[in-house]
């Protein structure tokens, strides 16, 4: 769905998963600096929006997802995952409850499969699920969410900002009052800096929450049974997840950014893959990668793709390779 904000001056459309909104409006580095100062907004209207209403919605979500929904207060944001029976991440969703409806957003194109699965799990619960992507859009703002205004999701885990859910027909009018626009390239650079993985880009079909830093963020460790809990609990109790998310600082002498799926090697051995990459206004080229736990965190890595120059990279830990309850404080 093409955003009307692509008609703003200097807008250049993003491609791939982010097609439909602006990659930048002339300078993604300048736009990053404005966001860091707390100015402007990012058009995320390409993301899918789903509503879940009904008196049983919170207890129902509590039983299905990795998150603690019982007693969730209106206006409180949360992140939740849906896992396979073996603990692999199948859906990631982010949302806020307004007292009557839980509003969530997810990756572009993901709502149809999510809604289909959720509908199968309704049974006798009093809930209603709707894909409202064609009617509602998301805008991200830096800073703290206002006390009043359009429905917002405050951003403790959202790069120090918050999302606004608003009717699509109000998108242009909202943008006129929201300050300078910033594209998704600027937003992605700040996301990678913050170490927040993006489902479908920084994950694969084998990914489990323990590898991605989602414990305590999208996974509540003190709740009852949910699908996939056994895997999450076992890895947490024993420690040492199979892989770990790292931030890579890339050699800036190469004039291209690695793409999703590029191989990450330690010497001649492939040890992982690139998820997402961006040019940061201070850090230079950075990326998120999922690598084997056994890879020495001090070793220099190489990002390799056919017909492209090899890019060297140093690692910065996001997920500790030894994370888990087996790790005890040293006396």
Residues of the chain by 3-state class (helix, strand, coil), percent to 5: 20, 30, 50
Q: How far apart are CA 96 and CA 60, in angstroms?
A: 15
Q: Which residue would you say has higher pLDDT here, 325 or 57?
A: 57
Would the pTM count as exceeding 0.85? yes
Strands (E), 145-283: 152-153, 161-167, 181-182, 243-250, 263-266, 269-280
Tokens of 317: 């830990």
Q: Which pLDDT does position 229 carry in this prediction?
A: 96
Give the H/E segment covering residue 142: strand 136-142
b/e code 57-85 from CB counts within 10 Å (16+ = b) = bbebbbbbbbbbbeebeeeebbbbbbbee
Average pLDDT over residues 116-136: 97
* Range with top average pLDDT, 20-24, 146-150, 308-312: 20-24
């Amino acid at each position: 769905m093409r955003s009307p904000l692509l008609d703003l001056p200097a807008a250049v459309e993003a491609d791939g998963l982010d097609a439909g909104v602006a990659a930048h409006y002339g300078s993604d580095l300048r736009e990053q600096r404005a966001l860091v100062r707390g100015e402007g907004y990012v058009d995320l209207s390409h993301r899918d929006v789903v509503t879940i209403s009904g008196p049983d919605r919170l207890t129902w979500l509590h039983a299905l997802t990795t998150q603690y929904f019982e007693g969730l207060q209106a206006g409180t944001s949360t992140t939740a995952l849906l896992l396979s029976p073996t603990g692999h991440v199948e859906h990631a969703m982010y949302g806020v409850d307004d007292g009557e409806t839980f509003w969530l957003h997810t990756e572009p194109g993901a709502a149809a499969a999510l809604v289909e699965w959720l509908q199968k799990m309704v049974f006798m619960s009093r809930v209603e699920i709707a894909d409202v992507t064609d009617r509602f859009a998301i805008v991200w703002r830096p800073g703290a969410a206002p006390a009043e205004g359009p429905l917002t999701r405050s951003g403790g885990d959202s790069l120090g900002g918050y999302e606004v859910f608003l009717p699509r027909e109000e998108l242009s009018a909202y943008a006129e009052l929201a300050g300078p626009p910033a594209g998704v390239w600027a937003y992605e650079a700040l996301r990678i800096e913050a170490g927040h993985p993006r489902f479908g880009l920084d994950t694969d079909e084998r990914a489990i929450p323990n590898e991605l830093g989602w414990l305590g963020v999208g996974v509540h460790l003190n709740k009852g049974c949910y699908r996939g809990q056994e895997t999450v609990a076992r890895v947490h109790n024993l420690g040492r997840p199979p892989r770990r998310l790292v931030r890579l600082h890339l050699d800036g002498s190469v004039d291209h950014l690695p793409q999703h799926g590029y191989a990450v090697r330690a010497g001649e051995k492939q040890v992982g893959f690139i998820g997402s990459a961006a040019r940061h206004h201070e850090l230079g080229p950075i990326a998120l990668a999922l690598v084997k736990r056994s890879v020495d965190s001090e070793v220099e890595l190489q990002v390799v793709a056919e017909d492209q120059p090899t890019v060297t990279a140093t690692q910065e830990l996001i997920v500790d390779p030894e994370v888990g309850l087996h790790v005890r404080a040293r006396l």
